[in-house]
Amino acid sequence: MPEPATPLLRPPRHRVDPRARRWWTLQALLTLSGPMLLIALVMAVLSILFFPGALPWLGPLLLVVLVVPAVGYLLVMPRWRYAVHAWELGGRAVYAAGGWFWQKRRIAPLSRVQTVDTVRGPLQRRYGLATVTVTTASTAGDIKIAGLSDADAEELSRRIGEAAQDVPGDAA
């Protein structure tokens, strides 16, 4: 590098609530892993009941195609996400990191903030979590911070709202 110092983007300061891991696990179980395991179970049972001859090849196939990916997703995704997801409210901008396999870090200036939404889904409510969505005039600039604790979410949306009012806006 020709410059003496290369600026690097550091991760946002604050992690999301640790309970988010449980929420993501439950979510994975309901949407992807659960159905996959259920299908594997049903197929295995059907095979044992009606086609015992198919088990020697169907068993390993189910294991590789359904069971291992389902369990892997269930175990890996929430931890990975928790390691990645983070947020920070700076003096001029909101900064959030998200994703797990494909990761995104997004920075949006407070002067462009249009609305701040706090959403609590049925699963999130169980764990006392919330998702804060900060919208800007561009859909590619909307920031979503998932897995905050209720108190953090309230505090954050209040502070973003205040900060956005302080900074002279050009959101329109």
128/141 with CB nearer another protein = 141
DSSP letter for each residue of 95-161: EEEEESSSEEEEEEEGGG--EEEEE--HHHHHHTEEEEEEE-SSGGG-EEEEEEEHHHHHHHHHHHH
Q: Which two tokens stand for residue 7?
A: 């600026």
In whole angstroms, how close is the CB of 141 to another protein at the nearest point? 3
167 residue type, one letter: V
In whole angstroms, how close is the CB of 150 to another protein at the nearest point? 26
In whole angstroms, how close is the CB of 82 to another protein at the nearest point? 17
21/106 with CB nearer another protein = 106
70/97 with CB nearer another protein = 97
In whole angstroms, how close is the CB of 170 to another protein at the nearest point? 9
Name the residues that contact another protein, by CB under 8 A: 1, 3-10, 12, 88, 90-93, 95, 101-109, 112, 114, 135-143, 172
128 residue type, one letter: G
67/89 with CB nearer another protein = 89
Nearest C-alpha neighbor of 12 from the set 95, 74, 69: 95
Nearest C-alpha neighbor of 58 from the set 45, 70, 69, 71: 45
C-alpha angle 103/104/105, rounded to 5°? 135
21/112 with CB nearer another protein = 112
Pairwise CA distance, residues 88 & 143, whole Å: 11
In whole angstroms, how close is the CB of 30 to another protein at the nearest point? 26
| Residue 118 bridge partners (DSSP) | 132
